[in-house]
Amino acid sequence: MRLINFYNNFISEIEKENRNIIYQYNAHGLVYLSIIEKGYKEKNGIKIYNAFKNEIFGLDYFLDRIVRFIYSAANGQDTFKRILILIGPPGSSKSSIVSILKVLLEEYTKNHEIYAPKDCPNRCNPLFLLPRNLKEELKYKYGVNYLESFYLPCPVCQKTLRENPWEEIELVPIQFSRLGNIGISTYAPGDPNSTDDSVLIGNFSIAKLSIYKNDSDPRVWNYTGALQSGNRGIVEFVEIMKSKTEHLNILLTASQDKMIVLKNFGAYNIDTFLISHTNIPEYQNFIQRSDTEAFRDRLFVIKIPYNLSYTSEIKIIKKLVKEINHMDPLVYKVSAYFSILTRIIKSYKKEDLEKIIQIFDEENENINNNSDSADIESIKKEYYEDFKVGMSGISPRTIANILSELSSFDEVSCIDVLKKIYDNFIKFNQNKNVEYNECYSMTEKFLENEITKTVIDALLGYDEIDKEIDLLFRKYYDHLGAYVNKTELKDPVTGKKIDIDETFLSSIDKHLKIVSDYEHRKNVYFRLLSLTSSLLLQNQTLSLKKHLPEFYNALKEYMFKEKIKLFAPSLNFDIPISDESKNIIRMIIDNMKKIGFSEKTAKVVLKYMNDNIIKFS
């Protein structure tokens, strides 16, 4: 295609209101298109992009900020002249995000026709080759905001323009390639003592001089620097913070002025999306360096913290782990719980941690029914805005390594994981790491609850629990009412008078953590009475889980303790047991297998329950 046809087509697409054509001739715009092409949905005021689905979990808010940045740059806002820098702790997905952007961009250029001048080693933006007045017209009349009339193509294109009328210049479609360093490149600072800038802007080629015979011919330059290879697309800076002053100055010009300066051939413009990532200590060192002053406000910083959503963390760990042998379903839960605790323990009060985990859990809906939503919003905002929250703790990679290691020897139970967490983080760090100790004991408690829940479920069958709890609640309400109102209780079937079950009432009091006296019981009773009557008025039925979660849990705990008395002795596999107990155990193990335990891991969990949970309760 000739440049004149390209130009006419460009204008006519804009006149047809196809703004995509504008985005396609701008590095940020191309990346933007490659993301939105995959689709998105909106939830709670942010956009959730399919492009990151199945790859990045729990960071929707931060990904949305990145796309907003890209969008504003694609529209020629000042962000277009910034280096995007992602700051976060090790293993918080910063580099995965950059990799995904590269893959998306590569894919996009394979499926759409994007043009560059034929024989241009820089894949110059064709718009830069247009005469000055046309560039001006594009910017001011057609809204191509990122284009400046003074932008110049590379020295090779400038030579072509000197030798040919602009209209005649041949354009060819280009495809980006990560492996081929085409439109996508990576810069690493390398040897800090070397002042060689060829990694960024290429170098003079003796071999090419022997072909072109003239050292003022721009074709004798090797345009293989990262800024040239990544022209029109993404240039990733690995460890930008370790760059030497000379390189920083080149980057400054490349971001602020979109320009590269070659000693022999002068300056020309590039069109790149510059992106980097680092951690907080390195970033702080960097901005304190005296030679980085001019650089600081050229950076656009976006925080990429650790994920704090428990459900998402399970997905992240599952994605990272090599599951060679069987793992029981509590393995991922206990791992995710511990790692999230280590990430929030520094930022919140100890007694709030439980609630914080629920607030950040993406799939936890109870929290919104039972808490003050303004409070939740302010806690979330802190995570989004405050640079300290979610920036320390254990990375998903560390946890995944532990699980992969365990899995390579044998089947893995949640108890193995708990032990391994103890060995790796607690055993040798007792004094050094008080916080992790706290996380460990909370995780231990959490696991005990999970095990208890799992075993009750397995004992009763999964549908029966709520029915039994409802019956217990009925009994509690009747007995409490008779106690408070000092009335007689009658058996609903036989009509015979029955006594108030004081033992039952006081054990529920204990689980509810209330004092077993008349005043306290009366308060509870009237609370229940007013709730049931207001539900009746609204034509709603009482759901314990939803309306009275604390009663639900108290009754469940009570029920479990009662049931466990029946079969506790049979959990100890070391002593001979009766046939009846054997049958109960068999049923529990079979039910546990239905939700992902193996024979072996189910037995490990039951044994742990016998040794640790029942004994102390």
Binding site for Zn ion (CB under 5 A): 120, 122, 124, 153-154, 157
Tell how far CA 539 is from the center of its chain.
Answer: 41
Query: What does DSSP say about strands 221-222 and 203-204: parallel, antiparallel, or unpaired?
Result: antiparallel
Nearest to 298 by CA among 15, 5, 583, 79: 79
- Pick between residue 87 and residue 171 the one whose CB is nearest to Zn ion: 171
- Pick between residue 185 and residue 395 the one whose CB is nearest to Zn ion: 185
Nearest distance, CB of residue 378 and Zn ion, angstroms = 52
- Pick between residue 26 and residue 243 the one whose CB is nearest to Zn ion: 26
Q: How far apart are CA 34 and CA 40, in angstroms?
A: 12
Q: How far apart are CA 258 and CA 514, in angstroms?
A: 69
- Pick between residue 118 and residue 594 the one whose CB is nearest to Zn ion: 118
- Pick between residue 253 and residue 371 the one whose CB is nearest to Zn ion: 253
Nearest distance, CB of residue 171 and Zn ion, angstroms = 11
Q: How far apart are CA 427 and CA 437, in angstroms?
A: 9
Tell how far CA 568 is from the center of its chain.
Answer: 42
Nearest distance, CB of residue 184 and Zn ion, angstroms = 18
Amino acid at 484: V
Cβ pair 569, 603 in contact under 8 A: no
Amino acid at 472: L
Nearest distance, CB of residue 223 and Zn ion, angstroms = 8
Burial zone of 163 (CB within 10 Å; 0-12 exposed, 13-18 middle, 19+ buried): exposed
Q: How far apart are CA 442 and CA 448, in angstroms?
A: 10
- Pick between residue 121 and residue 393 the one whose CB is nearest to Zn ion: 121
Query: What does DSSP say about strands 259-262 and 266-269: parallel, antiparallel, or unpaired?
Result: antiparallel
Nearest distance, CB of residue 160 and Zn ion, angstroms = 8
Which tokens sit at 195?
């002042």
Nearest distance, CB of residue 235 and Zn ion, angstroms = 17
Burial zone of 42 (CB within 10 Å; 0-12 exposed, 13-18 middle, 19+ buried): exposed
Nearest distance, CB of residue 120 and Zn ion, angstroms = 3
- Pick between residue 154 and residue 317 the one whose CB is nearest to Zn ion: 154
Nearest distance, CB of residue 273 and Zn ion, angstroms = 18
Sorted by sequence, the CB contacts under 8 Å of residue 533 that are 6+ apart come out as none
Longest dimension (CA), the chain: 115
Nearest distance, CB of residue 175 and Zn ion, angstroms = 17
- Pick between residue 192 and residue 266 the one whose CB is nearest to Zn ion: 266
Which DSSP state fits 182?
B
C-beta atoms surrounding 319 within 10 Å: 13
User: What does the DSSP assignment read for 391-419?
Assistant: SSS--HHHHHHHHHHHHTTS-B-HHHHHH
489-494 long-range contacts (CB < 8 A, ≥24 apart) are none
Amino acid at 89: P
Nearest distance, CB of residue 279 and Zn ion, angstroms = 37
- Pick between residue 153 and residue 393 the one whose CB is nearest to Zn ion: 153
- Pick between residue 82 and residue 232 the one whose CB is nearest to Zn ion: 232
